Structure 1
Amino acid sequence: MTMMKERSHAPHMHMPHVISEPELRPLDLGGLLARGAAAGLFAGTGFLLANMWYAVSQGMPGISPLYAMSTVFHASDAPVANANEAILGLTVHIGLSLAFGMGFALLLVPLLRNAAALVIGALVYGLALYVLNFQILGRTVFEFFTSPQGPDQLFEGLVHPLIFGLLLVPFFLGRSPETNRRNQP
């Protein structure tokens, strides 16, 4: 019978791209992108659930946000309610959630040095996504998103920063800088 040896562990393991690590180290793009992808999937799921809840609260089918997302793929004027469009909408939503999560990780996380900055950055990032997706692209390319039949602008302006933005934050948190300083000799 063979005995397995337990690996020795350092007193504390350093997670790549945890915002509170005080030391400077090389940028680990792979770790940053992996965290961003996981954060984007998580935040995108929460965001989609919030949109589905809102659709049901307005008397629409819960799947209607996926129909709306499919218009991005087609650049069409109105959503079509069928199963193929729902799958297409989900695929577009997942792809965009991944991209936006990785974008946050690459563009902002390396610049943010504490939890408060990360939260503010995530809120601003979510609001910027709303402005880009709805107010800029929605007025120029994807007109359904700003039409009266399209998504509720106030709701979208709130859920982009408060749901998508804030749900990105936990993936980049770590030990507080004060704790790290106290633990150093």
Structure 2
Amino acid sequence: MNQSLLIAWEQYRDLYEEISVPARTILLEEGKVARYAYYIREGGVRAWFNNKGKETSFQFFFEGEGVSAMESFRTGQPSMYTIETLSAARLLKISKENFDLIADSTPGFKAALEEAVFQRLLHYRKLFVCQIRDTPQERYATLVADQPHILQRVPLQYIASYLGITPVSLSRIRNKFQK
């Protein structure tokens, strides 16, 4: 988060709540409307959806990142996915009304938010293309190259679902990759 946004957050301290939650806390359930956005001070969070009874992870968030189902948060429509903590987490939690108040009164806030949404869109497009074009081995190699911290902080079953493979296949790929 850039310096001017951090100053805005401190200036509006009474508009958000700092919370601590245990691992596997559901922050937003698929099908519910997002009423809050979160900024991660400590910990990890994943976004996933129910795919015919299986959880499919599609994004991970860590310290210094914001997370919400922005489509739902902005429009009031039900979320297409669940947001859940990966580990114990310390978060800043803000309601839509208070978020909008800060956005409307802080120069540069909306531009920074637009950039964050644009970066998320790029991430989704890259993931989409990789799922279609690349082999599981290539997807794993891209993850190792682009986001190695995920391999250190995320349970393997979530990484496997993120890559679109089974945990057994991930294990085989990891073994070959390490040789």
| Larger proportion of helix | 1
Q: When the two structures are superposed, what TM-score results if normalisation uses the length of structure 1?
A: 0.29
Q: Which has the larger radius of gyration?
A: 1
RCO (CA 8 Å, sep 6+): is it higher in 1 or 2? 1
Q: When the two structures are superposed, what TM-score results if normalisation uses the length of structure 2?
A: 0.30
| Larger proportion of strand | 2
